Chains A and B, each alone.
Chain A
Amino acid sequence: MGVALRAGDMVIVRTADVGHHHRTPWFVKGKAGTVRLVHGAFPNPESRAHGGDGLPKRRLCQVEFRQTDVWGKRYRGADADVVLVDMFEHWLERG
């Protein structure tokens, strides 16, 4: 994983099309964002959903995406509007 992500870090969400349960919304896959804060470590839902113990825990980051980056011209709002998504660190690559 390298050095843990911190607030302010630029990230890109992995585009993996995994076949199991995961908590990464499709609309941010492949999108660039900025880590706003790190909530702490939580059991990995991709393990727990399939009978596993969720260990090792994964750090959960709140990532900010610009709405115009997520939806492009479809987005009808202000350029400054954002969506904040809680994302597990193993879905994030440094941008």
Chain B
Amino acid sequence: MADEHPPLEHVERGLRATRILAIRRLLTDKGVITVAEVDDIIERARERTPADGAKVVARAWVDDAYKARLLTNARSAVAELGYRLSHDAELAVVENTADVHHLVVCTLCSCYPTSLLGPPPDWYKSFAYRQRAVVEPRAVLREFGLALAGRVRVAVVDSTADVRYLVLPRRPSGTENMAEDALAELVTRDSMIGVAAARLPR
């Protein structure tokens, strides 16, 4: 059904785009997936934005019992807030503390908690990030503006398989009296990937 494919010349012809379109054409021509299924997956990913993940983090900051559930059974904990994960990937949440800082990478492709954060940023999919995050995470963090003390243990999480990881960033000091909605405003996408801390309150 060649008619269903957008003409290639309408798409930016970078190497990656060309490769993706070639793979998609093979998969659809061979009947492995349909164009409609691909569109549906993209559409569902776009329904979510980092503001959704931020609501989960803010709830965990104000509710210790919720945080405990989130860290032990993330799927059911995010369902409490109305978020449904795709059926084919699990979710795990790792907590950043004064002692350990997690950052997430997928060295094999670009696995990402799309069901909660939406599509990943381009840099997350770049070869540079995927290689360097695991070899020299502290240098990568410095480039993102986060200088960690040497006593803080860095734990790189490589999501190679069926589990997507969300980082629970540290709650900034000076936010003790803030309401959950205002706290969520401090939670950035990058802080949930682990390449940054949450924003400080104004």
Contacts and interface: CB of A to CB of B under 8 A. Distances in A.
The B interface is mostly helix, strand or loop, or mixed, namely mixed
Given A39-B92, A84-B156, A84-B157, A77 B162 contact: no
Nearest to B136: A76
A23 B108 contact: yes
Nearest to A42: B162
Contact of B163 (A39, A67, A74): A39
Contacts, number: 72
11 contacts: A25-B158, A77-B137, A78-B153, A81-B137, A81-B156, A82-B155, A83-B134, A84-B155, A84-B156, A84-B157, A85-B160
Interface in A56-70: 60, 62, 64, 67
Interface of B: 90, 92, 107-108, 134-139, 150-163
A5 interface: no
Contacts of B135: 71, 74-75
Range for the number of chain A residues in contact with chain B: 20 to 34
B78 to A, nearest CB: 16
A84 B153 contact: no
B164 to A, nearest CB: 10
B130 to A, nearest CB: 10
A50 B58 CA distance: 42
B151 to A, nearest CB: 8
Given A27-B134, A40-B90, A81 B154 contact: yes
Contacts of B138: 76-77, 81
Contacts of B157: 83-84
Contact of A82 (B108, B153, B159): B153
Contact of B159 (A40, A42, A86): A86
B163 A86 contact: yes
Contacts of A71: 135
A77 B163 contact: no
Contact of B158 (A39, A60, A74, A86): A86
Interface in A30-44: 39-40, 42
